[in-house]
Structure formats: C-alpha cells, structure tokens
A and B are shown apart, each in its own frame.
Chain A
Amino acid sequence: EAQVTQNPRYLITVTGKKLTVTCSQNMNHEYMSWYRQDPGLGLRQIYYSMNVEVTDKGDVPEGYKVSRKEKRNFPLILESPSPNQTSLYFCASSRGQGFIDEQFFGPGTRLTVL
C-alpha cells in the first residue's frame, strides 16, 4: 500500500530534550515536506526537500532541523524543544514538484512539550 508513515504518532516530552520525528514514504517520491498545524493558523511549512541531500527552509524553520540522506526518509529533528513547538506535525511527499503533483500526507504526529 502506498503511504507516508510517521513515528511516533503521539509524543509528550520536556523542554530541551532532543527528539526526532521520523517520516518515511514507499512511493519513490522525490519531494518531501514537513508542516505544523496549529488552531487558527492552518498548516505552515517548516522545511522541504527536492531530493536526496537537497533541503530548504519553509515559512517557519526556526528551532527545527531536517536531513535527507535517503530518498524515502525525511526526519524532523528538534534539538532543544520548547513549549511553543507543541503542535500537530505532518509529513508529506509528492512525485515531483508539489505544484504539479499531489502531495500525500502522513497521519500526523501530535507533540506536546512541557
């Protein structure tokens, strides 16, 4: 089954404790992206990747890191999480550039930083 998977689905952590949210797709997609969803703000793009080793900042990259060492994986790293990073996070992928091809979204990761 073609899908985007994220782990963990739920995470409660404390301020300053490094964490990684994994994202994996099995569709051989070139493009991957991370978003955060907050009430009243919709989805905001954090980082995106056009291919292996090629990443760039979205609208709200502060406090996040990403890497793209393999085509299928695009982990999101929070080196020192803070309470304002409490949010619902979505990973997405598409075959090519997103404006042409449909983005497929993962199920989401709900993160709470205390």
Chain B
Amino acid sequence: GDSVTQMEGPVTLSEEAFLTINCTYTATGYPSLFWYVQYPGEGLQLLLKATKADDKGSNKGFEATYRKETTSFHLEKGSVQVSDSAVYFCALSDVYNFNKFYFGSGTKLNVKP
C-alpha cells in the first residue's frame, strides 16, 4: 500500500541555516505530493504541493521538487527563521482514490536565534 517516510526529528538549526527535510514515498503510479506545516497548538496548513513529476512546489521560501526517479519530495529552505519552528508533514494522495491521503510521521524543526 501507499506510504510516506520522513527523516526522524527533531532537527535543530541556527537562524539563517540551510534546511533539508527528507521525504520518500511508496505508491503505485504518480501521486500528488504535499508538505503541510503544524505550528504549536494549531491544525495543519498546506505549505506547498506538486501534482506531477518534476514539478517544483514553492511557498514562503520553501521549495520541494517531485522526483519520480528517487520517489522523493525533499523540503528545502535556504535560510530558516525562528518563526519556521514547527512540525512538517509530507503527504500524498492515492493515485486511484484521490480522496485518500497518507501522511508521514512528521519532522519537528527547532530554529535557534
């Protein structure tokens, strides 16, 4: 079945450091891929998405490229801020049932001033 694997956290960085959070997936075909962010005490918010291979999603300085060869969708940001501290979830929607979603376990990011 479908699944999403994320790197273990927490990830601790200093402000202005480069961020990479790894995400790989297992699915039949080419699912749509998402990154969601969860700030403390809140629900999830969509950060970016990509719906086909080689697409690059971007938002608020974050980027992720849909790599079908490596079945990956790694999240990157060139210079993190303290306000980026949150939990980040990688997710996919099933190819054969677009209404079904699979999330990774989440990666907590701590950014220190």
Contact = CB atoms under 8 A, between A and B. Distances in A.
Interface of A: 4, 31, 33, 35, 40-45, 48, 50, 56, 58-59, 90, 92, 97-100, 102-103, 105-108
Contacts of A90: 43-44
Contact of B103 (A43, A99, A108): A43
Contacts of B89: 42-43
A108 B101 CA distance: 18
Interface residues of B, number: 24
Interface string B61-93: 000000000000000000000000000010101
Closest 4 CB pairs of A and B: A105-B43, A99-B93, A43-B103, A99-B98
Contacts of A106: 43
A42 B99 contact: no
A98 B99 contact: yes
A7 to B, nearest CB: 14
